[in-house]
Amino acid sequence: MTAPNLRNRYLQDSIQTASPAKLLIMLYDRLVLDLAQGEEALRAGELETAHEKITHAQEIVIELQVSLDVEAWSGAPGLANLYGYLITELIGANIAKSPERVAVCRGFVEPLRDAWRDAAAAAVAG
């Protein structure tokens, strides 16, 4: 098996065996990475790369939005609204080629990622 095939197999195995909390953190980590790379690509004038990264970020936010159970906890409707805002902003950022709008989205997502990571660590420790 080639190195890329081994890496893909490892990634698939990691995803398939991850707990729901770990999957959520993995999605947020990738979302932050896509946003950072999309913003950087826009600043560098690499529009095709920026489009790919921002579009992938949108797909992740959509996945987070559709998998959110708004009945599960009182903060869920607010989080759903934030996801809707992020999707709208990312579409606008992609159309306008605005790294600033992508940065604003990243500013919302990074603290959420950190909060979910802290909550998962507390659950494991507690």
Domain spans of the chain, in order of start: 35-125
pLDDT at 10 over 60: no
Pair of tokens at residue 126: 């507690």
Which value, to the nearest 10 degrees, does the dihedral of the CA atoms of residues 94, 96, 102, 103 take? 160
**CATH node for 35-125:** 1.20.120.340
- pTM value is 0.86
pLDDT, tens digit (0-9, with 9 covering 90-100), for 91-122: 999 999 999 999 999 999 999 999 999 998 88
Q: By the 8 A CB rule, do 84 and 65 touch?
A: yes
Q: What one-character-per-residue DSSP string does 57-83 give?
A: HHHHHHHHHHH--TTSSTTHHHHHHHH
Place of tokens 């992938």: 56
Per-residue pLDDT at 82: 98
**What is the amino acid identity at position 89?**
E
